[in-house]
Amino acid sequence: MSEHSGEPHVSNRFYVVIALILAVLTAMEVMVFYVEALSPVLLPILLVLMAVKFALVAMFFMHLRFDSRVLTGIFGWCLFLAAGIILALLAVFGKFTT
Amino acid sequence: MAETTVNQATGAHEEGTWSGGVWSWLTTVDHKRIAVLYFVAGFIFLLVAGMEGQMIRLQLAKPESRLLDPDFYNQMFTMHGTTMVFFAGMPLIIAFFNFVVPLQIGARDVAFPRLNAFSFWVFLFAGLFLYASFFFGGAPDGGWFAYMPLTGSQYSPRTGMDFYVLALLLSGVGTIAGGVNFLVTILNLRAPGMGLMRMPLFTWMAFVVSALILLAFPPFTIGLVFMMFDRMFGTLFFNAAAGADPLLWQHLFWVFGHPEVYILVLPAFGVVSDVIPTFSKKPLFGYPVVVFSGILIAFLGFGVWVHHMFSTGLGPIVNAVFGGATMLIAIPTGIKIFNWIATMWGGAIRFKTPMLFAIGLVGTFVIGGLSGVMHSSPPSDLQQTDTYFVVAHFHYVLIGGTVFGLFSGLYYWFPKVTGRMLSEKLGAAHFWLTFLALNVTFFPMHFSGLLGMPRRTFTYAEGLGLETFNLISTIGAFIFTLSFVPLVLALWRAWRRGEPAGPNPWDAATLEWTMSSPPPHYNFAVIPQVESRDSLWHPHIDPGHVPGAGDAEPGGVTPRLQPDPAPEPVHMPNPSFWPLILALGMLVVTIGALIGLRVVIPGVLLMFVGLYGWAFEPVEG
Amino acid sequence: MHGPTSTGIPTRKLGMWTFIGSECMLFGTLISTFLIYRGRNVVGPYPEELLNIPFITVTTFVLLMSSLMMVLALAAVQRGQRVGSMLWLFMTALFGLIFLTGQYIEFSHFVHEGLGLSRNLFSSTFFVLTGTHGAHVAGGVIWLGTLCILSLRGRLPPERAETVEIAGLYWHFVDVVWIVLFTIIYLLQ
């Protein structure tokens, strides 16, 4: 069916670079948290940083970038549905109205 | 990897497939045997839960009855619902998944045979554990949906609800494992040429239902964990005094509970979508539309849970959104109904027992579906909620849908499982009695419900106009009990001296009918090459794939059989008792949760023994 | 069960991914509950008094780096580097263990400050949410430790790399969940 290769053709150096990026992003998250001036936009910034880290791990460490798209589909749909349920529950409990 | 090589000498598969002592059943990883285990256990739970329903009806036969005391009545309706949903309905469905899915897709077993055995043992132990509650301080009595805070330790101080929480946590593990197993099986083990859009509808619905299980059970698991922690460790998840909102339980329960309804009914739709074409001698009308409407029902099913909670006062916007989404579900469901009718239209219909139940489903499910649309509208739901109207609705859906579908499947695949036919006469009697019982029992409940008779109340006063309706319902329940007589008789007679079935007694189109009945334990001697949706109805098909493999009559309308014996040795996984050990360990841990660490710790150790034994057993599976 | 699969994906790997999909809903429900009950505490201690960001940043970093160790372990196994496989698997498990120790220290600090499991809604949701994650980490540590011993005995040749890959998928997922929890629990107070 879909093209797929189990073993990604990337070097250890590549993984180290990804890990470094992740470490830097984490440091940025914590810094953003402590900067008073950013507090009005704290939520969107942190959510974006979180999403980027999440995507980096999923794409490169979990090899979704190199693997069958069926797997990305499964994970993506489950994430979509989980996010949907979270948002729907928060909405029903009035977390977005006040 | 040590693997057994199938003994090819024997042609009599009836021996090879089902024979063997107790040990062979305890260690089996064969999907067909596991199917039988699931079926037998599920059927016994069905009978037990049926008797509990009968008790409810006995109590309600006349007003002010004192036949059961209120406390026992609460236990009866709680156990009736819980058992029917988790320990009868789902296992019976999974029994059919187990037997049929690998055969329909051209596979020799499921993706994870040992995990499959594990799922069964966990379900069985959970069911037995739940029923042990009767001997240790009384059964659960908080309703099958166990609303907090009624089921918290303050209002339910007895251990009954602990049994409920723990049994469902335990069985949930097995169910989720089953969901993984069938999803992967259907995705990965299809025979060459068996594209997704060539799969029989039953397999399609098994696929959709597996996805539903995987997505719907975790929220319920978490809800149960919260309830367990609240009851056992004094956490505050549902404690209003601490600022919590007890309604959270209802949300978590119904986020699971509504998809659960489709988990129960979609497999029945799958059965009917296979049975109707077979007995109409016509391919399913609008196959892709039927597939996609099934997927759509499942998807929408996640966005409608609040319709179980309209009366909790969530406000007009929430109610309107969820009410609208609920009404949408009627569309794909209606599409299916019309496709079934269109399949029968102009077909050469044979009214065999599977077909009777299938047509019965088409009719009665519409009644249940329509009353469902009625209470998707919040204002009308406020009148109907928690009355017998709702009881009437979901019994029409669950009996008219799930049970009719399962019986249709039973009569349809029984010849494949056993190699014997079930009596058509007894089958017809069974169908008409069931059909009669369903309508006599539950149709009057529409009226008693609209008159305001509340659910889960152990009696009702005289002079409210409820007596006649209730008496009729109770008579219907007796007919229900009676309706099992022809079924049991038919099973017994088939067992004793059933007419041999042959590979394809119904002249059906799908792959499970290409091999002998019962199938050899490796299923397919040669993995078939699939070239069309209705393999056995097309002249060019060649399921045998091997030259000279059981060539049938010229023209090929009569199915080409699988070669027998297998031309090459077939490698099958070894039996294993580690799944049973792991499940036993989990049972001990569950029991320990009621007793204390001195039982939990040995249980955990036993689990590790099972896990490591499993992991290092020299076989793949 | 051999032979090519219909999707081309190894069956056990597909199984792990479907399980991970299911776990998304599990943690999704826990996160929903945590967020719904945020700020509804009736009694203290309150989260802002107790959450120690610098400390948890360190353990977060450790867990993040364990993911790096994991991919290096997998790469070593695939290349048949026995010492490397063993070393990286050991490091992954060790980093997981350090994270768990950090969690233990954090939990006992909370309890010491009067924030027991059933003190208020924050403690109930916090302990069950992070505890569920911690249980997943603990399971992963045992799994990785087992693999480490296997590789020590030379029983993880390149042909069995899939076994390590699957453990890795689980481990990375547990890490990804923590990425979300770190933001939601600690940074978005």
Using CB atoms, which residue from B214, B255, B318 is nearest to A85? Answer: B255
Tell me how far CA of residue C112 lies from CA of B541, B610, C105, in angstroms.
73, 38, 10
Cβ distance of A92 and B303 shorter than 8 Å: no
**Contact (CB, 8 A) for B306 and B325:** no
For C:86-145, CB contacts with A below 8 A are none
Chain A hits for C162, CB-CB cut-off 8 Å, are 6
Best residue of A5, A18, A71, A85 to probe chain C, by most C CBs closer than 10 Å = A71
Chain A hits for B214, CB-CB cut-off 8 Å, are 78
Residue A54 pLDDT greater than 90, yes or no: yes
Q: Which two tokens stand for residue B380?
A: 């009308």
Cβ distance of A70 and B306 shorter than 8 Å: no
Q: Model ipTM? A: 0.96
- Interface check for B244 against chain C (CB to CB < 8 A): the answer is yes
Using CB atoms, which residue from C13, C28, C175 is nearest to A85? Answer: C28
Residue B517 pLDDT greater than 90, yes or no: no
**Contact (CB, 8 A) for C185 and C126:** yes
pLDDT tens digits for range A9-49: 678 999 999 999 999 999 999 999 998 888 888 999 999 99
- Spatial separation of the C-alpha atoms in residues C132 and C145, rounded to whole Å: 20
Q: How far is A96 from chain B (nearest CA, A)?
A: 13
- Tell me the average pLDDT across A38-64: 93
Chain B hits for A88, CB-CB cut-off 8 Å, are 303
Q: Which two tokens stand for residue B499?
A: 């007419």
Q: How far is B255 from chain A (nearest CA, A)?
A: 8
Chain A hits for C73, CB-CB cut-off 8 Å, are none
Give A1's pLDDT tier (boundaries 50, 70, 90): very low
Size of interface A-C (CB pairs under 8 A): 130
Which tops the pLDDT comparison, B539 or C128? C128
CB A52: neighbour CB atoms within 10 A?
15
Coil, strand or helix at B488 = helix
- Interface check for C172 against chain A (CB to CB < 8 A): the answer is yes
Q: What's residue B552's pLDDT?
A: 42
- Interface check for B255 against chain A (CB to CB < 8 A): the answer is yes
- Interface check for C21 against chain B (CB to CB < 8 A): the answer is yes
- Spatial separation of the C-alpha atoms in residues B446 and B35, rounded to whole Å: 36
Chain A hits for C10, CB-CB cut-off 8 Å, are 6
Range scoring the smallest mean pLDDT among B164-173, B234-243, B493-502:
B493-502
- Spatial separation of the C-alpha atoms in residues B361 and B364, rounded to whole Å: 5
Q: Please name the chains neighbouring A, where neighbouring means 3+ C-beta pairs under 8 angstroms.
A: B, C
Q: How far is C61 from chain B (nearest CA, A)?
A: 28
Parallel, antiparallel or unpaired: strands B571-572 and B4-5: antiparallel
- Spatial separation of the C-alpha atoms in residues C134 and B344, rounded to whole Å: 56
Radius of gyration of chain C (CA): 19
Q: Closest-CA residue in chain B for A1?
A: B195
Give A98's pLDDT tier (boundaries 50, 70, 90): low
Half-sphere exposure of B33 (CA within 13 A, CB side): 25
- Interface check for B214 against chain C (CB to CB < 8 A): the answer is yes
- Interface check for B295 against chain A (CB to CB < 8 A): the answer is no
Which tops the pLDDT comparison, A66 or A7? A66
Chain C hits for A89, CB-CB cut-off 8 Å, are 32, 36
- Interface check for B187 against chain C (CB to CB < 8 A): the answer is yes
- Spatial separation of the C-alpha atoms in residues B532 and B540, rounded to whole Å: 9
Cβ distance of A85 and B314 shorter than 8 Å: no
Chain A hits for B187, CB-CB cut-off 8 Å, are 70
Give B567's pLDDT tier (boundaries 50, 70, 90): confident
Residue A67 pLDDT greater than 80, yes or no: yes
- Spatial separation of the C-alpha atoms in residues B15 and B549, rounded to whole Å: 23
Using CB atoms, which residue from A70, A85, A92 is nearest to B306? Answer: A92
Coil, strand or helix at B329 = helix
Give B39's pLDDT tier (boundaries 50, 70, 90): very high
Q: What's residue C3's pLDDT?
A: 60
Give B621's pLDDT tier (boundaries 50, 70, 90): very low
For B:550-589, CB contacts with C below 8 A are 571, 573
Chain A hits for C17, CB-CB cut-off 8 Å, are 71, 74-75
Q: Which two tokens stand for residue B219?
A: 């929220």
Q: Please name the chains neighbouring C, where neighbouring means 3+ C-beta pairs under 8 angstroms.
A: A, B
Q: What's residue C100's pLDDT?
A: 98
For B145, counting Cβ atoms within 10 Å of its Cβ (0-12 exposed, 13-18 middle, 19+ buried), the class is middle
- Interface check for C65 against chain A (CB to CB < 8 A): the answer is yes
- Spatial separation of the C-alpha atoms in residues B260 and C57, rounded to whole Å: 40
Range scoring the smallest mean pLDDT among B297-301, B418-422, B515-519, C130-134:
B515-519
Size of interface A-B (CB pairs under 8 A): 19
CA dihedral angle for residue C85, residue C134, residue C31, residue B604, rounded to 10 degrees? 110
Chain A hits for B314, CB-CB cut-off 8 Å, are 92
What global pTM score does this model have?
0.94
Cβ distance of A92 and B318 shorter than 8 Å: yes
Chain A hits for B245, CB-CB cut-off 8 Å, are 93
Main-chain phi, psi angles of B133, to 5 degrees: -60, -30
- Interface check for B164 against chain C (CB to CB < 8 A): the answer is no
Q: What's residue B555's pLDDT?
A: 36
pLDDT tens digits for range B203-219: 999 999 999 999 999 99
Cβ distance of C187 and A30 shorter than 8 Å: yes
Give B465's pLDDT tier (boundaries 50, 70, 90): very high
Best residue of C164, C179, C184, C189 to probe chain A, by most A CBs closer than 10 Å = C179
pLDDT tens digits for range B89-131: 999 999 999 999 999 999 999 999 999 999 999 999 999 999 9
Tell me how far CA of residue B537 lies from CA of B102, B503, B556, C12, C75, in angstroms.
20, 15, 8, 35, 50
